[in-house]
Amino acid sequence: MPSPYANRSYAQATQRPGAPRETEGRALLEAARRMDEACASGDAAAMLKAARLNWRLWTIFQAELSDEKSAVPLELRRNMLNLCNFVDKRMVAILAGPSPEQFQSLININRQIAAGLLAQSPAPSPPSAPPAEPSGPISA
């Protein structure tokens, strides 16, 4: 029987305003972690599963960057689309026969892009302190 709290938690989490750069950075780090763990295990099925996750993530980026209405500056879009093409080509090679060596460039790219995204994410601003109340009587 599903937990009644699961739906409530999910609803609350999806209603919070997000920080797209932070979300993308964390997704890239998670994909890199999964690829790294799969390579360390040497399990071909695990490597393929991690590779497919990474490919889906990069396909999302590619779709967003290909949209003419994208808010990403044109030069950055071009550079990122070039990386998307590199990831596509590497993924085809991995799907043909995965080996840990094939993943290193993808893991490094994910980590470097994530570092840039997370470094640019605006830090949450601390709540402002209420004005201090005078400690003694106010004289006019």
- Given a contact cutoff of 8 angstroms between Cβ atoms, the answer to whether 103 and 39 are in contact is yes
The per-residue pLDDT for range 29-50, each reduced to its tens digit, is 999 999 999 999 999 999 999 9
Block residue for tokens 């949450």: 124
pTM beyond 0.85:
no
Tokens of 118: 């997370």
DSSP string, 15-55: HS---HHHHHHHHHHHHHHHHHHHHHHT-HHHHHHHHHHHH
Identify the sign of the CA torsion 14, 38, 31, 81: negative
d(CA 7, CA 81): 37
Residue spans of the domains in the chain: they are 19-119
d(CA 60, CA 86): 15
CA 109 to chain centre: 12
Tokens of 4: 């009644």
pLDDT band at 92 (very low <50, low <70, confident <90, very high): very high
Tokens of 27: 């997704």
Cβ neighbourhood burial of 128 (10 Å; 0-12, 13-18, 19+): exposed
CA nearest to 76, candidates 29, 116, 128, 122: 116
Average pLDDT value for the chain: 82
For domain 19-119, which CATH number applies: 3.90.1720, 3.40.50, 1.20.120, 1.10.3470?
A: 1.20.120
The per-residue pLDDT for range 102-125, each reduced to its tens digit, is 999 999 999 999 999 999 755 544
Instruction: Please tell me the predicted confidence (pLDDT) of residue 21.
Output: 87
More confident residue, 55 or 14: 55
Instruction: Please tell me the predicted confidence (pLDDT) of residue 55.
Output: 96
Tokens of 84: 């998307």
